[in-house]
Amino acid sequence: MHRFYLPPAQCAGDQLRLTDREAHHALHVLRLRSGETVTVLDGAGHSLVCEVTGLARAEVGLKVTARQFVPLPPCQITLLQALPKGKIIESIIQKAVELGAHRVIPILSERVVSQLDGDGAESKREKWQQVAVEAIKQSGAAWLPSVAAPLSLPQYLARPERFDLALIGSLQAERRHPREVLSQYLAAHGRAPGNVGVWVGPEGDFTPAEVASIQAGGAKPITLGRLVLRVETAAIYGLSILNYELNLTP
């Protein structure tokens, strides 16, 4: 079944309209016909089964025939991803959607030369958010992760945000197995963390000074195995572990 995305405000009634990008895809790529059944996702937990009721030049009319709500997962996972070179970040965002990330925050680090002014940062954010939209349509994910505009490491660390548990993939000798850190948290608090942040470095990893700053902010170093992983592999690995341990249901 074909999937489309509409923001929650446009999904309130029983009669919906696809316009702009979604209508173009429906009309000129998929060539939908009246009477076909499609799914609309609002990115806020709702999945709507709809019947195509009208086709115009730049608009598709839909009638909602069934609604389903998927609750938020028990733990909201934020990926704090040092911005890699090229378009690798787009692949990371796609995989983050599939692995249940709640947010993706791109971080400008010392070992990746990328200067963005306010307009450039917002333009990147809008582009990356659309990557996330396309990923929920592909995967059927009920919740749309928010993608932030890129921030420098000092900018992010100056924010008051705190996680129940923060982790950083590390090559340092004192790193621990993720399950050990999660078990220790459970023993200390009597519950699993409700939100977790996981830091992943760029090509060449964070500098020692950056790692020290992140750990001073409360992040605990964890191992992602014996091998040195590529940026996108490290992100997938870290998110997979957390999704399996904290959000996977039978």
For the chain, give every domain's residue range.
Answer: 3-69, 76-247
The span from the CA of 170 to the CA of 213, in Å, is: 13
pLDDT of the chain, 250 residues: tens digit per residue: 899 999 999 999 999 999 999 999 999 999 999 999 999 999 999 999 999 999 998 999 999 999 999 999 999 999 999 999 888 999 999 999 999 999 999 999 988 766 666 678 889 999 999 999 999 999 999 999 999 999 999 999 999 999 999 999 987 767 899 999 999 999 999 999 999 999 999 988 899 999 999 999 999 999 998 888 999 999 999 999 999 999 986 6
3-69 folds as: Ribosomal Protein L25; Chain P (2.40.240)
How many CA atoms, within 13 angstroms, populate the side-chain half-sphere of residue 209?
Answer: 5
What values do phi and psi take at 215, rounded to 5?
-70, -30
* Assigned CATH for 76-247: 3.40.1280.10
46 exposed, middle or buried (CB, 10 Å; 0-12, 13-18, 19+)? middle
The residue assigned the tokens 């996702």 is: 41
With contact defined as beta carbons under 8 Å apart, do 110 and 213 qualify?
no
